[in-house]
Amino acid sequence: MNFQNYHKLLIANRGEIACRVIRSAHDMGISCVAVYVEADANSPFVKMADEAIRLSDSYLNSKEIIQAALDTGAEAIHPGYGFLSENAKFSRDVLKAGLLWVGPSSRVITSMGDKLKAKDLAEKAGVPTLPMTTDPKKAKDIGYPLLIKAAAGGGGKGMRVVNSAKDLKESIKSAQREAKTGFGDDRIFIERYVPVSRHIEIQILGDSHGNVVHLGERECSIQRRHQKIIEESPSPRVDPEMRDAMGEAALKLAKKLKYESAGTVEFLVDDKTGEFWFLEVNTRLQVEHPVTEATTGIDIVHEQLRIARGENLGYYQEDIDWYGSAIEARLYAEDPRNDFLPATGTLIAYEPNSEVEARWDSGVEEGSVIGTEFDPMIAKVICYGENRLEAANKLSMALEALHIGGVVTNRDFLVSTLRSEAFLNGLTTTNFIEKVKPPRSYEPSDNELRKVASIAAMWIQGKNRNEAELLGDLPSGWRNSRLPKQKMNFMSGETEIPITYRSRRDGNFDLNEDSLVKIFQWNDKSISLEIDGHRISSKVTKSDDQVIVKMPWGNVSLEVVPRFVLPGSEEVIGGLIAPMPGKVVDLKVKVGDKVSKGDPVVILEAMKMEHQVNAPEAGKVKKIYIKKEQQLDNGALLMIVD
């Protein structure tokens, strides 16, 4: 056996995947080296590692990463996913440096990294593929709708659905720009688009001794911007016959490739007919791998680390079985109400509820900054159940029980999706969001907002009293006379919520003239109280004037209105502002142009994805404040449409 042991591993990645790899490596007695850029200096993965090396500029600096491994005595490199994980040259350079590479060979990465070559190999292996072309003039031969895809990578970058010939030219330009930014390669191809379809992928493992197995399927159909947000195993659409057929197709291709390490063969399935076609092979660990781990009991990272040192898998296809159901949700810093645009900010609150059974794969903590430099995923949340309904219920409860604040997230949208009738019935096709339209946020009623503000007021008065240097043991607002009424004002969006309370001599409070409040417990992180017989226990976090209150349905962010407000700048009438930080890659209008509501006016690039800004109303462009290639802050004034 060609066996190469190693005791120290460098992880050429960041965030939750770095944390994930460290956990499995530590379980195997392998120490870990992290690499990080300045923006990640205080990130959890850096603290988890046994040692860490700061990079001068980027996670794409392959020479510096390899040198960090050599300098620290690391004998192997795990690339995680994203960044350099599917970079064949990096893989070769790692081996040339005398280090072990935790992943498939550079030959496989090269052949599968180019989707056009991958399709050709799949056809030669007898795996069905969709009709496609690289020539836009032949697009009509395939027939609309079409899907434009980047030849050099995935993750939704460089992908566009085209419904008619008039949109083809502009969609190709946009896809090429995004592909060039994301992969350094602007080649695209055009293939048939299947509107009512599912994304089903087969997890494969192969060793250096010719053994290859698959670990069943995952369904990853619920997507926005062609990026997955909910994944599960097994798929509610796949029966044993289809599983066998897709598994056999994946193994055919894996054997032809002589595949080593973990990988994923992705298929597109026609939901009506059950017909399936090859999409691509991801030659790396997938974000959604935990659902397969939950249903098979196989630690995929552990297997990667074993395979890299030359070990035999030690089991065969007939030894693998699946139990129960697992579902994963990706918690993102993004605004579902604003077309899922990425959001930025500081997590002033982040605390999963330990009493709810769930796996949290996360690379952030309270105080972490969510910026524009990296993917805005906060955490992957995975729940396992004896059946699909149990897994869905656990996952929605885990998300709802999370105390989080300081940045807009898709948490409410995920909960409403998981609890929708369509999801629970397994109707999870790729058009799920457009067809089912789950509520994108939870909108508290006026009574609920008033209760939230009341809890915030009671917690703040407790905090003020606790921090008082003099007379701290006396009731808030105490005077040597009748206790006065206290007032606080809060804002929830555009809604102002005034709260008045008066401390009673029995320690309780009169609230808003018509309610009685009893406080049972208070500390600097939570409060337990009763409002008119309704007992509520809430986590509360305050940072400057922002207060996050945890309620049974989720979190509510309130702003404390200062008693004395300084004059501010007036709002610019007709001003169109940037919905997110980003770079201007295209200006669609000039001064004097007339626009209709919904017309594209600016294309912004953020996190290597393009985002279109549309005119909110019809009008005439009066003034433009930006230019191409300019980097913008969130809320920057773009132009005035009169």
Mean pLDDT of all residues in the chain?
A: 91
Answer whether 266's CB lies under 8 Å from 199's CB.
Answer: yes
- Could you tell me the fold of the domain covering 575-641? OB fold (Dihydrolipoamide Acetyltransferase, E2P) (2.40.50)
Phi, psi of 630, deg, nearest 5: -75, 135
Q: CA 177 to CA 171: how far, in whole Å?
A: 10
Mean pLDDT, range 572-598, rounded to an integer: 83
SS3 sequence of 297-349: CCCHHHHHHHHHCCCCCCCCHHHCCCCCEEEEEEEECEEHHHCCEECCEECCE
What the block records as the tokens of 610 is 């393009």
pLDDT band at 254, cuts 50/70/90? Answer: very high
- Percent of the residues in the chain that have a pLDDT greater than 70, as a whole number: 95
Averaged pLDDT for residues 348-375: 94
Q: What is the mean pLDDT of residues 129-148?
A: 90
H or E segment and range at residue 34: strand 31-36
Q: Cis link prior to 145 (omega < 30° from 0)? A: yes
Task: Name the CATH code of domain 131-192 (choices 1.10.357.10, 3.10.20.30, 3.30.1490.20, 3.40.640.10).
Answer: 3.30.1490.20
Residue 566 has pLDDT above 70, yes or no: no
**pLDDT tens-digit readout, 94-127:** 999 999 999 999 999 999 988 888 989 999 999 9
**Domain ranges within the chain, ordered by starting residue:** 8-102, 131-192, 197-436, 446-560, 575-641
CB 620 within 8 A of CB 641: yes
Q: Which of 524, 369, 555 is nearest to 459 (CA)?
A: 524
Is residue 604 a contact partner of residue 632, using CB atoms and an 8 Å limit? Answer: yes
* Contacts of the segment 433-438: beta carbons below 8 A, 24+ positions apart: 433/222, 433/223, 433/224, 438/413
CATH 3.40.50.1000 for domain 197-436, yes or no, is no
Fold of the domain spanning 446-560 = Glycoprotein, Type 4 Pilin (3.30.700)
Residue 409 reports pLDDT greater than 90:
yes
**DSSP bridge pairs for 54:** 36
Residue closest to 583 by CA, chosen among 340, 337, 375, 373 = 373
CA separation for the pair 11, 486 (Å, rounded): 55
Provide the pLDDT for residue 2: 63
Out of 203-217, 338-352, 472-486, 598-612, least confident range? 472-486
Band of pLDDT at residue 178, cut at 50, 70 and 90: confident
Catalytic residue among 160, 243, 284, 306: 284
Lowest mean pLDDT among 151-160, 582-591, 632-641: 151-160
In tens, the pLDDT along 280-317 reads: 999 999 999 999 999 999 999 999 999 999 999 999 99
Amino acid making up residue 159: M
Give me the mean pLDDT over the 193-202 stretch: 93
Question: How confident is the model at residue 567, as a pLDDT?
Answer: 47
pLDDT of residue 156: 74
pLDDT at 153 over 80: no
The correct CATH number of 8-102 out of 3.40.50.2300, 3.40.50.300, 3.40.50.880, 3.40.50.20 is 3.40.50.20
Question: Is-catalytic flag, 505?
Answer: no
Q: What per-residue confidence (pLDDT) applies to 494? A: 86
Residue 105 CA to its chain's centroid (Å): 28
More confident position, 96 or 599:
96
Question: Quick check: 608 pLDDT over 80?
Answer: no
Report the alpha-carbon distance of residue 524 to residue 463 in Å, rounded.
Answer: 7
Answer whether 282's CB lies under 8 Å from 309's CB: no
User: How many Å is the maximal CA-CA distance in the chain?
Assistant: 91
Task: Sort 202 into a burial class: Cβ within 10 Å, 0-12 / 13-18 / 19+.
Answer: buried
